[in-house]
């Protein structure tokens, strides 16, 4: 019988509700307590989901908490993950888990010395749709991937998020905020990145909040909001990534990969499901591929606006704790998350310094996540 690990949620804002709802899907996880620098936020989530609200100090010292899920804002991720490791807890952080390679290396040092795990979102690449795309590529269905495009475009986060300040400060912006989903999935599908080149600008220096108690308040912008990048992968592929919050409307697809013998349409890497389409040389162009019956595919999660989505956030956390027990590498590993952060920061650096930037960190492609392995983690 697998262990059940006590989860302490640190940071009880917007995304914490999804974690509280999804953690119970996984056999080896149990949410036991939560904390926030704003005690009222922790108390509200505790009442909603039947866990204990604690102070931050008490959560980090709680003997029933084995792993801290760090859902604070990007600027606080490193400091709070470091404190959690020093307190002897495993850490799984929302993205971006650090804001420099040095911070990531520091966490690695502490974790290694204490035999603790560090993992990071996004884990959406573990979803059935993305794992199916991975299987098609691994099986040679489109031949070697040599190019592709990825688009994460929108009008910004200020319309819906009641406290969007962090999105427009260093650590936010479309590349650091949404880029992790795209680059993590590209590492899953194509492998690690070798070099990047980019250009960036911003359409506005202020954004106006459109929701919640601060509706109408202006928020300053201090990070680029419109970025074009080309990523050169270790396998030789060149893939164009555009991340922008200055786009009112567009008709681009989220991700397309072009292989020597075919092309693959990959659904939005922000989600676990979606449709995969494939075209093969001599065929009729893109056609939907029937998805396999992977446990992380079906749309069973209701969003605040009533849509049904495939959402299995916490799958990466569950895999991390299972990997700890089994003595194997976890898929949302520090190495991969740090490589992704390095790629994203290097994109911004390339734009700022008007030159290509070699990626210093290395990682491997994660192991595929089979239907059997996914099913074994779920209740
Ligand atoms: N909102 C989403 O839909 C979403 C989706 C995926 C990932 N994320 C990521 O999750 C993280 C949190 O996002 P959010 O939207 O929930 O933000 P949020 O601002 O709604 O919530 C963050 C919470 O963390 C608390 N906090 C900040 N610093 C803290 C500290 N030092 N110690 C304890 N608590 C602290 C804040 O008081 C707040 O309650 C971000 O990294 C974001 O990129 C958010």
* Ligand 1 touching residue 256 (CB < 6 A): no
Range of the structural domain that residue 237 is part of? 126-305+334-367
Residue 326 inside a domain? The answer is no
Mean pLDDT value across residues 353-376: 97
The residue from 120, 141, 159 where one domain ends is 120
Give 271-303 pLDDT, tens digit per residue.
Answer: 999 999 999 999 999 999 988 899 999 888 888
Residue 319 inside a domain? The answer is no
Reply yes or no: is the peptide bond before residue 157 cis, omega within 30 of 0: no
Residue 196 inside a domain? The answer is yes
Mean pLDDT value across residues 4-16: 98
Give 293-348 pLDDT, tens digit per residue.
Answer: 999 998 888 888 888 999 999 999 999 999 999 999 999 999 999 999 999 999 99
Residue 300 has what pLDDT? 87
Q: Are residues 99 and 243 in the same domain?
A: no
Show Cβ contacts of residue 102 under 8 Å, excluding neighbours closer than 6 positions. Answer: none
Residue 264 Cα to ligand 1 middle (Å): 34
| CATH classification of the domain holding 113 | 3.40.50.720
The three-point CA angle 88-311-325 to 5° equals: 35
Residue 86 has what pLDDT? 98
Q: Are residues 190 and 267 in the same domain?
A: yes
Residue 315 inside a domain? The answer is no
Q: Among 236, 229, 150, 227, which residue's Cα sits nearest to residue 196?
A: 229
Q: Are residues 39 and 137 in the same domain?
A: no
Residue 70 Cα to ligand 1 middle (Å): 8
Residue 134 inside a domain? The answer is yes
Q: Are residues 131 and 260 in the same domain?
A: yes
* Ligand 1 touching residue 11 (CB < 6 A): yes
Q: Are residues 231 and 362 in the same domain?
A: yes
Q: Are residues 276 and 347 in the same domain?
A: yes
The helix or strand, by DSSP H or E, that contains position 265, with its residue range, turns out to be strand 262-266
Residue 34 has what pLDDT? 99
Q: Are residues 157 and 257 in the same domain?
A: yes
Q: Are residues 110 and 204 in the same domain?
A: no
Q: Are residues 159 and 31 in the same domain?
A: no
Give 48-91 pLDDT, tens digit per residue.
Answer: 999 999 999 999 999 999 999 999 999 999 999 999 999 999 99
* Ligand 1 touching residue 55 (CB < 6 A): no
Q: What is the dihedral of CA 325, 327, 330, 336, to 10 degrees?
A: 140
pLDDT band at 125 (very low <50, low <70, confident <90, very high): very high
* Ligand 1 touching residue 56 (CB < 6 A): yes
Residue 291 Cα to ligand 1 middle (Å): 33
Q: How far apart are CA 205 and CA 202, in angstroms?
A: 7
Sheet with 145-153, strands from edge to edge, namely 287-288, 277-280, 262-266, 255-259, 145-153, 238-244, 226-233, 193-201, 357-358
Show Cβ contacts of residue 254 under 8 Å, excluding neighbours closer than 6 positions. Answer: 150, 151, 152, 182, 266, 267, 268, 269
Count how many domains the chain has.
2
* Ligand 1 touching residue 143 (CB < 6 A): no
């Amino acid at each position: 019988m697998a262990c059940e690990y006590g989860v302490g949620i640190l940071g009880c804002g917007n995304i914490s509700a999804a974690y509280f709802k999804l953690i119970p899907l996984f056999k080896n996880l149990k949410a036991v307590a939560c904390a926030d620098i704003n005690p009222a936020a922790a108390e509200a989530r505790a009442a909603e989901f039947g866990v204990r609200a604690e102070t931050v100090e008490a959560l980090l010292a709680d003997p029933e908490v084995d792993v801290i899920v760090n859902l604070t804002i990007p600027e606080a991720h490193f400091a709070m993950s470091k404190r959690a490791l020093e307190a002897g807890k495993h850490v799984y952080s929302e993205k971006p888990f650090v804001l420099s390679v040095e911070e990531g290396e520091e966490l690695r040092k502490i974790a290694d010395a204490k035999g603790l795990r560090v993992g990071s979102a996004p884990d959406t690449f573990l979803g059935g749709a993305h794992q199916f795309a991975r299987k098609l590529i691994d099986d040679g269905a489109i031949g070697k991937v040599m190019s592709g495009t990825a688009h994460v475009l929108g009008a910004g986060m200020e319309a819906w998020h009641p406290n969007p300040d962090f999105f427009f400060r260093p650590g936010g912006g479309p590349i650091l905020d949404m880029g992790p989903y795209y680059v993590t999935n590209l590492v899953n599908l194509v492998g690690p990145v070798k070099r990047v080149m980019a250009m960036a600008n911003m359409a506005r220096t202020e954004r106006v909040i459109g929701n919640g108690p601060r509706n109408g308040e202006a928020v300053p912008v201090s990070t680029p909001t419109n970025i074009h990048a080309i990523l050169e992968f270790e396998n030789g592929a060149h893939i164009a990534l555009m991340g922008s919050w200055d786009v009112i409307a567009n008709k681009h697809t989220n991700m397309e990969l072009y292989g020597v013998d075919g092309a693959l349409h990959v659904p939005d890497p922000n989600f676990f499901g979606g449709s995969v389409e494939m075209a093969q040389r001599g065929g009729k162009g893109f056609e939907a591929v029937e998805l396999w019956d992977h446990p992380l595919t079906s749309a069973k999660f209701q969003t605040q606006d009533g849509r049904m989505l495939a959402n299995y956030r916490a799958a990466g956390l569950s895999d991390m704790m299972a990997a700890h027990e089994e003595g194997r590498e976890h898929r949302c590993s520090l190495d991969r998350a740090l490589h992704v952060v390095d790629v994203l920061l290097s994109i911004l650096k390339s734009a700022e310094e008007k030159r290509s930037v070699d990626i210093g960190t290395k990682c491997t492609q994660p192991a595929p996540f089979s239907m059997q392995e996914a099913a074994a983690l779920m209740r």
